[in-house]
Structure 1
Amino acid sequence: MHSLIIHMPGDTKRASNVATLRDTLPNAQIVDAVIGKDVMATGGCAPIAGSLYRPSYPFPLSPGEVGCFLSHRACWQKIVAQDWEWALIVEDDLSVDPTLWPDALHLIADHMTPDHFIRLPAKHREAAAATVAQFGEARLFLPRVPGLQTVAQVVGRAAAARLLASTETIDRPVDTFLQMHWIHGQTIHTILPNGASELTDALGGSTIQKKSGPHSKLERELKRAVYRAQVSAHRQHM
């Protein structure tokens, strides 16, 4: 298995963790993160404001979110171009627990195919529609609704091609788009527990920042709740 670590060039705060990941993950290499504001400034990406699919995404995309999406697309393109069966894609704030991580890797080795997309989330927030397999403490399952965040996932070659074809234009963050299995046609599986955690705060905070006052924060939370309810109506099934 190959591993791709998304990392912003020149980010010294995360350099030490990236070095650890390169030593820990199988056949690891760095993929330079895309700087969203630069791509948008030069016209290299013109995202649509949340209106491409239903439900509409209620917030404008930030440059950081654009860069994150394009960074993941770059990894999908690499998987297809290299003709790999699949690859592990991680962000540079990932940390792995050596006692749990091997169980997750065992499930991946046994069940991953080029058609699969398997999430390795840091947060345990997904309810299972069906369990596929278990090894040790790790359980591979089909979530009713795929969770958010993209700290780690294994993406097959056919899955990558499928996602590339459906993201030539983007209108929402990559993790919210991945939830929309009824749009991109890719089944999303999850492994939990998996040993993955995020070191975001310890490494200087998120690279995708959105600041807002108390009133706008409340408005955002209300809009977010409505949007999530609409997404939750589209559940995955065996």
Structure 2
Amino acid sequence: MRSMIIHLPGSTKRRGNVYRLLTDLPDAEVVEAVDGRDPAQIAGVRRSDGTRFSPHYPFPLRPAEIGVFQSHRRCWQRILDEGHDFALVAEDDLRVDPDRLARALALIAAHATPEMFIRLPVKARETPARVLASDGQMRLILPRIIGLQCICQVVGSGAAERLLGATETIDRPVDTFLQMHWITGQPVHTILPNGNAEIANQIGGSTIQTKTRASGKLAREVKRALYRARLHLHPQHP
């Protein structure tokens, strides 16, 4: 299986981890990320902040979030252009357990189709609507509510084509958009536990998050809670 590691060349503190991922991931290459801080790189992006789909997303897209979304779209396009049935797409703050990753990829090889999008998240917060397969405690599931973050996933060619068609205009971050399976027509599966970890704090911190004034934090949390409540009205079904 081909692996694609999304990385900004200027993120020098993450370079050592990229070298580790090139060793730990199967048939890995680095895909240059879209830099949302460079207006020229995102000038042509079609966007409609939070208003294209319901529920409306309560926050405007940040430049870094636009860059991350376009970086994932770049990988989805490469899956099609290079003729892969599947590819593993990883962000550069991922740390894997090679043995457990090998088991997860074996589950995928045995049970997945190119129509599937399978998350290997760092947080075990999803509950299954259906269990498709298992290897000991490790399970390939269809979660009721799709989790956040896109640090590691296996994307089939059919899923890549479907998602590219659905994201010619973007209105929210990529992980939040992927939760909207009733809009994309793309079910999202998950493998848990998988041994993955996020190590952004060890290699320079997040490239997306920004500081929010204390006076605005409560308002943001209220808006986020209301949005999540609306999202929970749309669980995935077996």
**TM-score (normalised: structure 2):** 0.97
Q: Does structure 1 residue 235 correspond to structure 2 residue 232?
A: no
Matching of residues 1-238 of structure 1 within 5 Å: 1-39=1-39, 43-238=43-238
Q: Check the 8 A contact 2:42/2:66 in 1, yes or no.
A: no
* Alpha-carbon contact 1:66-1:173 (below 8 Å) kept: yes
Distance 1:41 1:98 in 2: 34
Any stretches of 5+ residues in structure 1 without a counterpart? none
Cα offset for 1:110? 0.8
Q: How far apart, CA to CA, are the structure 1 residues paired with 2:42 and 2:165? A: 23
Output the amino acid matched with 1:152. C
Distance 1:41 1:131, change over 3 A: closer
Structure 1 runs (4+) greater than 3 angstroms displaced: 39-42
- What is the deviation of 1:148? 0.1
Aligned residues: 238
User: Aligned-pair RMSD on alpha carbons?
Assistant: 1.2
Question: Kindly tell me: are residues 29 and 228 of structure 1, through their superposed partners in 2, closer, same or farther at Cα, counting changes over 3 Å?
Answer: same
Matched residue type, 1:223? K
Unmatched 5+ residue regions in structure 2? none
Residue 42 of structure 1 deviates from its aligned partner by 6.3
> Which segment drifts farther, 44-53 or 86-95?
44-53
Q: For the residues of structure 2 that align with 1:11 and 1:41, how far apart are their CA atoms?
A: 16
Q: 1:112–1:216: structure 2 CA closer, same or farther, 3 Å change rule?
A: same
CA offset at residue 166 of structure 1? Answer: 0.3
Return the letter of the residue paired with 1:59.
Answer: F
| SS, match of residue 15 in structure 2 | helix
Shift of residue 134 of structure 1?
0.2
Q: Contact 1:100–1:137 at 8 Å: present in 2 too? A: no
SS in 2 for 1:230: helix
Q: 1:43 corresponds to which letter in structure 2?
A: A
CA-to-aligned-CA distance 1:193-229 (integer Å, 9 cap, x gap): 0111100100111000222111211000000000011
- Give the Cα–Cα distance (whole angstroms) in 2 for the partners of residues 236 and 208 of structure 1: 28
Where 1:100 maps in the other structure, the secondary structure is helix
Counterpart contact for 1:3–1:26, Cα < 8 Å = yes
> How far apart in 2 are the matches of 1:66 and 1:55?
19
Distance 1:63 1:229 in 2: 26
